[in-house]
Structure 1
Amino acid sequence: MNTLRPRPEVAGVASADRVLTVLTAFRIGDSALSLAELTTRTGLIKSTIMRLLVSLETFGLVTRLADGRYMLASEVVRLNAIYQDAHDVERHIMPRLHQLTEESGETASFYVRHGAYRLCQYRVNSPHRLRLHLQPGDMRPMDEAASAQALQTSHEVAKAGLTPYYSCGVTDPHAASLALPIYGAQEELLGALVISGPANRLTQERARALHGVLGATADELTRSLGGKPLYGSTVKNRTD
């Protein structure tokens, strides 16, 4: 039995609500829906639905068939591919971050470039009570911090020989970090793998001791994402 959705109020973000009400009326198993079916499922009147369908067609989210029914279009497929790709990347990254935290005792993160900022996309916090308080989704400027430097490094530079970037007290006077850029199958920059911690614990000497851990993990992540490992010749292996 179909369950009617409450009619969105015509105020504030009502227009967006109504567009999404129509779009999410499609369910698994639907090949196409008639205007009458959309009316029943959404609780909206036909004239409103027709106006919304014009906007959805314009953005490639639905298409009108010759018999007058509507079906989801290619833009939905594209968005789904982006969603699936993001979760696939997460499946590769998160185990490496847990591994880095376990081996280094510090916080491990994966940063991506977001315009003029660097965004913490994934993070596994250090088990230490004294640690940096930053969460996935937080953004920082593209300054001289290690992760920012890594996110500005071309594949050619990394391929020529690169040891991890180290910074101390740049964005936060009490924080230090160590980072390497990660590249994909087409040698495109995907992000930066980062170890960070309090400056009094993650000293330059301690950072050098972690070069092997970070480099080996970066190579493992790069390989799992379809790229060619870069750091085996410039950093020592974990077992060295």
Structure 2
Amino acid sequence: MEDNKLTVRAVERALDILLCFTDTPELSLTEIAARAGLHKSTVHRLLASLENKGFLLRNPSSEKYRLGFRLWELSANLSASDDPEVVLLPELEHLRDVLEETVSLYVRDGLERIRIQAVQSNQAIRRVAQVGARLPLFVGASSKVLVAFAEPEVQAQVLSSPTWPPSLDKAVFTAQLEEVRRQGYATSVEEREVGAAAVSVPVYNRSHRLVAALAISGPANRLPLEKMREQAPVLLEFAARMGKMLK
């Protein structure tokens, strides 16, 4: 039993090392150890195994590591028919061209949302959205959509989360969720990021299950509330079309 525990722990630590590369292309042994919270000796052994299996590659000149070819081989076998970020990309690009702002697609993962796809605006001044970013469910238009249209138990978990920011009034947030459900979309102005605004709508699949939140975002001075309200029906139209493409 003890050997099994050690094996599982090694797997978890190896996965933690791979997750260190979520937002950074290259990392040194020291940087990986700090991010993963592991001793350098442990990280060194795991890096050797991951490199041997092709999950990581080491740059001999810089002694830094990056993701290896094996991950790309695995990702090539993802089922395109089941992955919204793949299936919906053409529609996201079309929406970007119609509204001329950055378009993002978010899904809920526990008490966070993850940006699984993004198409950047072509405008010179734009909001750059990083794919893979994890954000809290307490603020932002897409957060409100993912919570407002989720099951009651999910809403209860969010409101009772120990990480709930003391500065955010739960009563105000609850009232915002009610308004989102009533109007079918959510807006935010500088809630999470100074100078940024966003409008978001839910995406349901053909079984009418909430799959994602679709959003456009940009500079707040280019997206006043009145303009976002005018754009909401366009987003809802795109979301309805996207939902028909998902199982």
Alignment correspondent of 1:169: 190
Matches within 5 A, 1:45-64: none
What does the per-residue CA deviation read over 1:76-131, in whole Å, with 9 as the maximum and x for residues that have no partner? xxx88982147753342111111111111111110111232211111111111111
Residue type matched to 1:146 in 2? A
Alignment correspondent of 1:124: 119
Q: How far is the alpha carbon of 1:205 from its aligned partner?
A: 0.9
Contact in 2 for aligned 1:103/1:213 (Cα 8 Å): no
Number of equivalent positions: 159
Would the alpha carbon gap of residues 180 and 195 (structure 1) be closer, same or farther in structure 2, given more than 3 Å must change? same
Select which of 29, 34, 47 maps to 1:13. Answer: 47
Contact in 1 for aligned 2:81/2:87 (Cα 8 Å): no
Residue type matched to 1:122 in 2? Q
Give me the CA root mean square deviation: 3.0
Larger Cα-atom Rg: 1
- The answer to which structure has the higher helix fraction is 2
Stretches of structure 1 that go unaligned for 5 or more consecutive residues are 1-9, 22-78, 227-240
Select which of 131, 134, 156 maps to 1:136. Answer: 131
**Moved >3 Å (runs of 4+):** 10-18, 79-82, 85-88, 155-158
Residue type matched to 1:144 in 2? V
Select which of 87, 90, 94 maps to 2:89. Answer: 94
Q: 1:100 is paired with a residue of what secondary structure?
A: helix
Q: Distance in 1 between matches of 2:127 and 2:75?
A: 34
Stretches of structure 2 that go unaligned for 5 or more consecutive residues are 1-43, 55-73, 152-177
Matches within 5 A, 1:129-208: 129-154=124-149, 162-208=183-229
**Matched-pair identity in %:** 31
Residue type matched to 1:149 in 2? K
Q: 2:187 is paired with a residue of what secondary structure?
A: strand
Contact in 2 for aligned 1:150/1:165 (Cα 8 Å): yes
Q: 1:118 is paired with a residue of what secondary structure?
A: strand
Using the size of structure 1 for normalisation, the TM-score is: 0.57
Q: 1:210 is paired with a residue of what secondary structure?
A: helix
